[in-house]
Amino acid sequence: MAINKIEMKTCSRYEASVKVGGVIRKKRFLTLQEAKIWELAMRQAPAMVAQPRLMYSLACSQYIADCELRIASNTLREKKKHLREFASYIRKDCRLQDCAMDDVTLSMARAFSNGVMARSGAKTANRRIRTLKALWNWHKSELTGNPWQAVKPFPEEEFVKYVPSKDDVEKVFAAATQQERDILTVISYTGARLSEVLNLKWEDVSDGSIRLWTHKSRNGSKTSRLVPVGHTLRDVLTRLHPLSEGSPYVFVNPATHGPYRRNQPSICHMLKRLCREAGVREFGFHALRHYFASMLVSTNKVTLCDIQHMLGHQRATTTDTYLHSLCPPVDHLAGVIEEMNQPLKAS
């Protein structure tokens, strides 16, 4: 085979490749001499027997085991679903029970992606492409390439985030039970994610603030932020404390005496039911974050940094993009356009 010099950002590496039992083995070294020694040793090995090939099923199991330690449960469920779908494609369309990772070709990757696109649209297909690309990248030291790198994402139609009106939010609050109203109040007064509220513990509640925890880092680390507690939120928390009966959680599931889970029916169907009962357009828990952010912007009293902190974004650019998708700053243009067209009106 050959030894190639690989130019990297800060240095160079030498990549040696040898064909062993029909399988190309590659390894990178700091020096050319090290690469030559490895290549010679591989060629002179007493038994040039092919190494066991990494099968798709095993690759998925190893990848998911690592993900279980690092990422949130809802993201994990989505990854598992995507991997199962490609396994189904291998069985049904390729007529294989399993498949070596290195045997998955670019044409197979494109065929799978195109099929998902045709059935479910660009956004769904692009999510599968990202998951499968991540799987191959996780095993990159064991593989000769990643066919998903060459699969171009499909163009997506811009998603317009729905922000419920204050009137609709008030109607939903009126239709809610006391406990439902308490959960909605904490979200509406903190901008918290649903998971942050359901996992809120009394040890993170103080008189003037509460600490919200979330899994947002790429490595799955938990991060926290302090958000202020006003009199409305303080009254809710004061009333809830004796109801928790010694539980460490603010919102206690009476059936388990532990926290509520976001996928249980009483939680995941809550807002759909309340919107129907209130007679308003359906919105979800995340839309309350949109509502919270848009209300903050409308006050003209907070900075981008303030909103970034309240929403728990790690980068200000994320908050800026988020806000522009909710409430693009165009209101001030109405007067400018009116003034600009005044001569036309006069004539």
Domain annotation covers residue 312: yes
- Pick 63 or 22 by higher pLDDT: 63
- The pairs formed by 261-266 with CB atoms below 8 angstroms and a separation of 24 or more are 261/198, 262/74, 262/194, 262/195, 262/198, 263/74
- Nearest-Å Rg of the Cα atoms of the chain is 27
The structural domain count of the chain equals: 3
Q: Please give the Cα distance from 116 to 130 (Å, whole number).
A: 13
pLDDT of residue 334: 67
Considering the domain architecture, whether residues 36 and 72 belong to the same structural domain is answered as no
User: What confidence tens digit (pLDDT) does each residue in 71-122 have?
Assistant: 877 889 999 999 999 999 999 988 888 999 999 999 999 999 999 999 999 9
Is residue 34 over pLDDT 60?
yes
pLDDT of residue 346: 52
In this structure, the number of other CB atoms found within 10 A of the CB of residue 140 comes to 10
Domain annotation covers residue 343: no
**pLDDT-derived band of residue 232, with 50, 70 and 90 as boundaries?**
very high
Q: Please give the Cα distance from 311 to 186 (Å, whole number).
A: 13
* Rounded mean pLDDT, 1-6: 81
Domain annotation covers residue 287: yes
Is residue 338 over pLDDT 80?
no
Domain annotation covers residue 192: yes
Residue in the structure block whose two tokens are 């109040």: 185
pLDDT of residue 26: 80
Considering the domain architecture, whether residues 21 and 113 belong to the same structural domain is answered as no
Considering the domain architecture, whether residues 190 and 252 belong to the same structural domain is answered as yes
Considering the domain architecture, whether residues 323 and 180 belong to the same structural domain is answered as yes
**pLDDT-derived band of residue 47, with 50, 70 and 90 as boundaries?**
low
* Rounded mean pLDDT, 160-181: 92
Which residues on neighbouring strands pair with residue 100, listed in sequence order?
55
Position 56, amino acid:
Y
Full domain range(s) for residue 102: 56-139
Considering the domain architecture, whether residues 35 and 99 belong to the same structural domain is answered as no
Task: Check if the beta carbon of residue 160 is closer than 8 Å to that of residue 326.
Answer: no
* Rounded mean pLDDT, 179-189: 94
Task: Check if the beta carbon of residue 142 is closer than 8 Å to that of residue 266.
Answer: no
pTM of the predicted protein model: 0.64
Is residue 345 over pLDDT 90?
no
* Rounded mean pLDDT, 1-24: 78
Domain annotation covers residue 161: no
Domain annotation covers residue 126: yes
Is residue 282 over pLDDT 60?
yes
Which residues lie below 8 Å from residue 72, measured CB to CB, with a gap of 6+? 195, 215, 220
